[in-house]
Amino acid sequence: MNLSKGQRRTLVRILLAGAVLAMLGGLALGGVLPEAWYIRLPLFLIPYVLVGWDVLWSAVRGVLRGQLLDENFLMALATLGALVIDEYPEAVFVMLFYQVGELFQSIAVGKSRKSIAALMDIRPDEARVEREGSECVVDPDDVIVGEVIVIRPGEKIPLDGVVIEGRSELNTLSLTGEALPRDVAEGDEVLSGCVNISGLLWIRVTKPFGESTVSKILELVENSTLVKSKAENAVTKFAHWYTPAVVVGAVLLAVVPSLITGEWQRWLHSALIFLVVSCPCALVISVPLSYFGGLGCASRHGVLVKGANRLESLANTETVVFDKTGTLTEGSFSVTEVIPTEGIERHALLRLCAAAEQFSNHPIAVSLRASCTEAGAGELPHAEAREIAGLGVLAVIDGRRVLVGNAALMRREKVDFAEKCSAGTVIYVASDGKFLGSIVISDTVKKGACEAIRMLRQCGVKRTVMLTGDRTEAAKAVADRLQIGEYHASLLPADKVERVEKLLEEKQGVLVFVGDGVNDAPVLARADVGIAMGALGSDAAIEAADVVLMDDDPTKIADAIRISRFTRRIVWQNIVFALGIKALFLVLSVFGLTNMWAATFADVGVAVIAILNAMRTLRYHV
């Protein structure tokens, strides 16, 4: 077991104190140790101070700072009280066992942190950059956008960029949770944090290190542990009121029965046991550790969750709303049909449409330009274009006013056109008010989308809804194939927000919206939980979403829900177990039916068991 320097020191103190306590106990049992308190007390103080000086010092500092009622104060008060009533072995043992529990807790938390650090061990230490004809190794922060970095086999890619030379396979496991290597060649975009497997790559940097994918992920993981769940906040508030209450209860237990019976030592002993049992460390440690492990488990499966509160919300998911394009479908469109009107040739219509869309990054625009290139249409004419949100593009090409968009755009501009019914997306083209024809573009359903819907139903999700700006025919075709019972088509971005608002009014549990993170930021932010799908590296996704899926696999949504529910189950197991055992021992201590040794188990033993249970979240497999 790898222990830190501080943990090794604590272990040595525990072993030494335990040896001295065992020796003194043996002498006492053999009748060798004198009964006089002035001999026994100094001897037992040796192991007591050896193992507990840091607890005593923390208690003193807490008193000086006004923080009286933490576990250090309670443990110091209980053990010093045991010394006062001549229970020397019990005082030393309680402090010894408490330190054993604290050491175990420290090891457990450290192990969880190391596990998450190993999962997210994607921060590169250096970058090999070409400068003035030679390679030099620099810090990734010092690399400038536009410079060329060289990645050798086995090295991590330090910054986002585009491959300008070379061919290789990339291990994306740390980013996406996907074990299958990804082939890259010249022209492909690559993300920082991936590991180059085989070939030599030359990559032109497109983002500074502070804006790279690896930096965003590391920042997101670090910040996620700072956001507490409702259960964590409830435990914190509970401990705030619980600890003073048990201290008052211990004082009353020591004083009131003693005034009645006159048995001061017996009831003081019961009050000290009461204090030991009351330490809330099992809850205060195990609940945050459970959520910490759940966040780490989700990261290992390629799901980044922005905080324990989001992980907790996922467990109550009853409604999942999907964007269509790029979420349930590939978003990689292809032209399947070109239908010109009389008087215009097929390639001319396609070329005019591509020219109007030549500056757009929308998937439909990209597919139009790709089809135009494949058709050998040559260089596109210059266009001055303006995008009309949710409708299409208005462009001026060679002095002509060209409209490229959906049927709503044609109707708005009062163009007399022939509307076409198709399962694909229909793009209408008009010039100077005259309808020129239409182009049908089809998208394909994502691999795994059907399985994702089925898995969500297995998880108990009661309602799945699809929202899209596409036409009703295209939306219906996708919904029927995926067996999504409810869909809403021809929605503008503002309409999607309005539709989600209505769904929020109707829902009972948590509503999750899943989008591609490019143009769904308002809806992602409005939903109870927003999940950015397949948007690794997208600024909009990471900013607006509560959860980021680090690959393009929609089945990870169900995985995230399962992890959240398992984490919640572990949290409640720990809460019920800890409070139940403590309540039992508190009652037993009131009636004098337990001793300090058993009380120590009720505190430290319960904490150890709860911590072990909490660590199961880190090892959970969906």
User: Could you tell me if 613 and 301 are in contact, meaning their C-beta atoms sit under 8 angstroms apart?
Assistant: no
> What does the pLDDT look like over 483-534, one tens digit per residue?
998 999 888 777 888 999 999 988 778 999 998 755 677 888 888 999 987 6
Work out the average pLDDT over 573-584: 88
When pLDDT is averaged across residues 146-162 and rounded to a whole number, the result is: 90
pLDDT band at residue 428 under the 50/70/90 scheme:
very high
CB 344 within 8 A of CB 437: yes
Residue 503 contacts residue 321 (beta carbons within 8 Å):
yes
**Res 45: pLDDT:** 93
Q: 424 to each of 117, 159, 326, 374, 609, how far by Cα in Å?
A: 45, 38, 15, 20, 57
d(C-alpha 527, C-alpha 270), whole Å: 53
CA distance 603 to 596: 11
Task: Round the CA-based radius of gyration of the chain to a whole number and report it.
Answer: 33
Instruction: Write the secondary structure of 338-399 as one string of H (helix), E (strand) and C (coil).
Output: EEECCCCCHHHHHHHHHHHCCCCCCHHHHHHHHHHHHCCCCCCCCEEEEEECCCEEEEEECC
Phi, psi of 60 (to 5 degrees): -65, -45
**Separation CA 286–CA 293 (nearest Å):** 10
pLDDT level of residue 458 (50, 70, 90 thresholds): very high
Given a cut of 80, whether residue 535 has pLDDT beyond it is: no
| Token output for 363 | 């998937």
Residue 328 near residue 466 (C-beta atoms within 8 A): yes
- Give the confidence band of 249 by pLDDT, cuts at 50, 70, 90: confident
Check if 495 is active-site: no
pLDDT at 222: 54
DSSP letter (8 states) at residue 602 = I
Residue 359: count of CB within 10 angstroms of its CB? 13
Give the C-alpha separation, 234 to 530, whole Å: 24
Q: How confident is the model at residue 466 (pLDDT cuts 50, 70, 90)?
A: very high
Say whether pLDDT at 112 is over 70.
no
Q: Tell me, what's the pLDDT at 198?
A: 81
pLDDT at position 74 over 90: no
Place of tokens 């956001």: 227
Residues 158, 532: Cα–Cα separation, whole Å: 24
> By the 8 A CB rule, do 153 and 196 touch?
yes
β pairing state of 303-305 and 486-488: unpaired
**Mean confidence (pLDDT) of the chain:** 82
Average pLDDT of span 78-97:
80
Torsion, Cα 257 261 267 271, to 10 degrees, reads: 10
Give the side-chain half-sphere CA count within 13 A for 136.
9
Residue 200 pLDDT exceeds 60: yes
Q: What token pair was written down for 6?
A: 């501080």
Domain layout of the chain by residue ranges: 5-117+225-292+565-617, 303-330+445-550, 341-442
The model's pLDDT over 23-48, given as tens digits with 9 standing for 90+, comes to 998 888 888 888 888 888 899 999 99
Q: What is the 3-state secondary structure (H, E, C) of 278-290?
A: HCCHHHHHHHHHH
Q: Residue 57 above 80 pLDDT?
A: yes
Measured CA to CA, the distance from residue 599 to residue 121 in angstroms comes to: 42
The pLDDT value given to residue 151? 92
State the pLDDT at residue 384. 87
Share of the chain above pLDDT 70, in %: 86
- For the segment 164-193, the average pLDDT, to the nearest whole number, is 79
Token pair for 348 = 């001319």
Spatial distance between the Cα atoms of 583 and 591, rounded to a whole number of angstroms: 13
Over range 266-281, report the average pLDDT: 77
Give one DSSP letter per residue of 257-315, joined into a string: HHHHH--HHHHHHHHHHHHHHH--HHHHHHHHHHHHHHHHHHHHTTEEES-HHHHHHHT
Within the chain, what is the greatest distance between any pair of CA atoms?
117
Q: From the candidates 70, 160, 323, 603, which is the catalytic residue?
A: 323
Q: 360-416, pLDDT tens digit by residue?
A: 777 778 878 888 877 665 677 888 888 887 788 899 988 899 999 888 899 999 999
CATH architecture of the domain 341-442 equals 3-Layer(aba) Sandwich (3.40)
Q: How far apart are CA 438 and CA 420, in angstroms?
A: 8
> Which CA distances in Å does 95 have to 17, 82, 284, 337, 398?
10, 11, 19, 80, 87
- Looking at residue 225, what is its pLDDT? 52
* 597 pLDDT tier (thresholds 50, 70, 90): confident
Helix (H) or strand (E) holding 81: helix 71-84
The more confidently predicted of residues 317 and 299 is 317
Q: What CATH number has the domain spanning 303-330+445-550? A: 3.40.50.1000
Q: Is 29 exposed, middle or buried (0-12, 13-18, 19+ CB in 10 A)?
A: exposed
Amino acid 39: pLDDT: 87
Q: What's the predicted TM-score (pTM) here? A: 0.68
Task: Mean pLDDT check: name the lowest of 84-93, 552-561, 596-605.
Answer: 596-605
Phi and psi, residue 364, nearest 5°: -65, -40
Mean pLDDT, residues 197-224 taken together = 76
Q: What pLDDT, on the 0 to 100 scale, is given for residue 537?
A: 47
pLDDT for the residue numbered 463:
93
Residue 455 has pLDDT above 80, yes or no: yes
